[in-house]
Copies of this chain bind each other. A is one copy, B any other.
């Protein structure tokens, strides 16, 4: 897993952990049944308090992304079908987000196409 925490981000640290793990799940880096690092290990790795990581794990379980069991760790839970639809939904929402900002900045779809051409290379 490739987790980095940005202490300066306005996004609370525990939510950064949630996002990073969700991304890992959605990108296929973590699959259904995979064991997540233990709360204490991840806390040590990210130099966070175990409570902060626990909060993230708790939220992930509440959202159905994992199953935490005392004594045997936390495992990823992603019904096969769900992963793909979540992935697509997330991409679309990110893209719409971007489009909205671009449009409110006064750019046209033509401008955006040109931008895309330039950066792609």
Identical copies in the complex: 4
A96-B119, A119-B95 in contact; A104/B69 too (CB < 8 A)? no
Q: Tell me which residues from 5 to 37 in chain A have a Cβ below 8 Å from any Cβ of chain B.
A: 7, 10-12, 15, 23, 26-28
A92-B115, A95-B119, A116-B95 in contact; A106/B69 too (CB < 8 A)? no
CB of A120 closer than 8 Å to a CB of B: yes
Interface range on chain A (Cβ under 8 Å from partner): 35 or more
Q: Tell me which residues from 82 to 104 in chain A have a Cβ below 8 Å from any Cβ of chain B.
A: 87, 90-92, 94-99, 101-102, 104
| CB-based closest 3 A-B pairs | A98-B98, A27-B106, A10-B10
